[in-house]
């Protein structure tokens, strides 16, 4: 819903009402709802819902009839709006002044029908009774809060040869992250009567080798052990040329969420956790061929 608080003098002149001061201009329109002049209303109820204050006009009033979703019966009136909702803006008094007897507050209609204009002239409402305060909690917002609390930390990069030692051109470098970090994470958040729980399951690790190449591994990779010379890995990279590079590892998580206290939940897809990076130096090992036997 659009709240209109500031109305320019140009718009005001076009609609035929004054925007400053307490004067008879405000009270000159006793009906008001079918004209462009500013109008006053009394009674009704103010209800706060999700931070927005709505005005419900007194039953049977012309304002209440305009709130009906359907046009009034009979011959259509080209000047008659309908389907109106009324949003109260107490702060508008500081901007456009007081509109009548006090205490009161400005209410801004938003209507449909042939008689609706944009913006509709505001209404000065007095004697409105405070209604129930209902704060609607959006489960999606609570779900997003739960996701933010998952704590998807950056991985711990491991390599063989170690990142602090030179890598060799043409020799596979083993890549892995801490296997203990390869497990689901859950977190919950609550607001009002709604509690959302987010779950993140590790899905893959994407290694950016710093030279334009990347490696995608479906798991954390196998830690290298010098005591097991026959071990193999499905997560490695063979450097094509020497140089200095920055290797980056990013874990992607499959995130889902559920809600209790309101309908909600679903699959949020893959989300990248924070990346980790290490500098590496790649060198090329030179072999020296020494002729054997005989001489020229």
For the segment 32-89, what is each residue's pLDDT rounded down to a tens digit? 333 334 688 899 988 876 667 889 998 888 888 888 887 777 787 777 888 888 988 8
Is the pTM value of this prediction over 0.75? no
Q: Show which of 91, 117, 134 is a domain's final residue.
A: 134
Nearest residue to 264 (alpha-carbon basis) of 147, 150, 148: 147
**Same-domain check for residues 155 and 108:** no
How far is C-alpha 152 from the geometric centre of its chain's CA atoms?
19
**Same-domain check for residues 54 and 123:** yes
According to the model, what pLDDT value does residue 30 have?
Answer: 39
Distance (Å, whole) CA 264 – CA 140: 7
Position 6 pLDDT exceeds 50 = no
Distance (Å, whole) CA 194 – CA 159: 44
According to the model, what pLDDT value does residue 60 have?
Answer: 84
Average confidence score pLDDT of the chain: 81
Furthest-apart CA pair in the chain: how many Å? 122
According to the model, what pLDDT value does residue 262 have?
Answer: 85
Q: Show which of 83, 112, 134 is a domain's final residue.
A: 134
On whether residue 274 sits in a domain, the answer given is: yes
According to the model, what pLDDT value does residue 126 have?
Answer: 92
According to the model, what pLDDT value does residue 129 have?
Answer: 87
Give 191-236 pLDDT, tens digit per residue.
877 899 999 999 999 999 999 999 999 999 999 998 998 899 999 9
Q: How confident is the model at residue 289 (pLDDT cuts 50, 70, 90)?
A: low
Q: Residue 86's domain spans which residues?
A: 9-134
What are the phi and psi torsion angles at 63 (to 5°)? Answer: -65, -40
On whether residue 295 sits in a domain, the answer given is: no
């Amino acid at each position: 819903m659009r709240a209109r608080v500031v109305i320019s003098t140009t718009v005001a002149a076009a609609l035929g009402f004054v925007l400053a001061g307490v004067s008879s201009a405000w009270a000159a329109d006793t009906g008001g709802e079918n004209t462009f002049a500013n109008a006053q209303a009394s009674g009704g109820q103010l209800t706060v819902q999700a931070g927005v204050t709505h005005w419900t006009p007194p039953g049977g009033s012309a304002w209440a009839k305009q709130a009906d979703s359907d046009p009034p019966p009979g011959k259509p009136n080209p000047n008659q709006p309908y389907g109106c909702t009324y949003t109260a803006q107490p702060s508008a008094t500081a901007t456009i002044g007081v509109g009548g007897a006090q205490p009161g507050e400005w209410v801004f209609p938003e209507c449909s029908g042939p008689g609706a204009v944009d913006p509709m002239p505001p209404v000065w409402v007095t004697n409105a009774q405070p209604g129930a305060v209902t704060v609607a909690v959006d489960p999606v917002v609570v779900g997003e809060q739960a996701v933010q609390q998952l704590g998807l930390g950056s991985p711990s990069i491991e390599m063989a040869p170690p990142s602090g030692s030179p890598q060799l051109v043409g020799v596979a470098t083993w890549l892995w992250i801490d296997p203990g970090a390869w497990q689901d994470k859950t977190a919950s958040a609550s607001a009002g009567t709604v509690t959302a729980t987010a779950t993140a399951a590790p899905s893959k690790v994407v290694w950016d080798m710093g030279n334009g190449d990347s490696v995608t591994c479906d798991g954390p990779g196998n830690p290298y052990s010098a005591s097991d010379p026959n071990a193999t890995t499905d997560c490695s990279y063979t450097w094509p040329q020497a140089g200095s590079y920055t290797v980056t590892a990013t874990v992607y998580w499959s995130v889902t969420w559920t809600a209790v206290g309101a309908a909600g939940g679903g699959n949020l897809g893959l989300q990248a956790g924070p990346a980790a990076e290490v500098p590496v130096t790649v060198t090329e090992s030179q072999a020296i061929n020494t002729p054997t036997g005989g001489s020229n």
